[in-house]
């Protein structure tokens, strides 16, 4: 598994992580001043991103993110992912891009694909 693939796998796990462990888990995959944006939000910093992620579990109980494919070059990567439902069924798909800095994700943009 490539370093970029591992970063995306670890970031995906953060969305479903125990809230008490989430900030430390994020710190292992993203820089302190990480920028994150998706169609519904734009946040900066590990603390703001961890707070935003808190809403994921109650909004999508039993769901998790699966990283399907990662492409990378020149300190950038693109991840294709699927949000899986409670029973492993696909619920949503998307792509995310990131700039890498110091071996971690620094600037993340998520796109949700139409069903």
55-93 residue pLDDT tens: 887 888 899 999 999 999 999 999 999 999 999 999 999
Query: What's the pLDDT score for residue 50?
Result: 96
3-state class (DSSP) for residue 63? coil
Q: What is the mean pLDDT of the chain?
A: 94
Query: Domains in the chain, please, with CATH?
Result: 3-113 (3.10.450.50)
Helical (H) or strand (E) element with 86: none
* Cα separation, 52 vs 43, whole angstroms: 8
Percent of the chain surpassing pLDDT 90: 87
* 37 contacts 108 by C-beta, under 8 angstroms: yes
Sequence-distant (≥ 6) Cβ neighbours of residue 24 within 8 angstroms: none
Q: Is the pLDDT of residue 102 over 70?
A: yes
End-to-end CA separation in angstroms for the chain: 29
Q: Is the pLDDT of residue 10 over 90?
A: yes
* Cα separation, 5 vs 11, whole angstroms: 10
pTM, rounded to two decimals: 0.93
Query: What's the pLDDT score for residue 115?
Result: 60
């Amino acid at each position: 598994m490539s370093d970029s693939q591992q970063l995306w796998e670890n970031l995906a796990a953060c969305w479903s992580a125990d809230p008490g462990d989430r900030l430390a888990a994020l710190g292992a995959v993203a820089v302190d001043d990480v920028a994150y944006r998706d169609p519904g939000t734009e946040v900066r910093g590990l603390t703001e991103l961890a707070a935003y992620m808190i809403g994921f579990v109650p909004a999508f109980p039993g769901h998790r993110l699966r990283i399907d494919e990662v492409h990378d070059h020149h300190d950038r990567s693109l991840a294709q992912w699927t949000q899986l439902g409670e029973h492993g069924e696909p619920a949503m798909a998307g792509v995310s891009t990131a700039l890498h800095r110091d071996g971690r994700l620094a600037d993340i943009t998520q796109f949700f694909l139409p069903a």
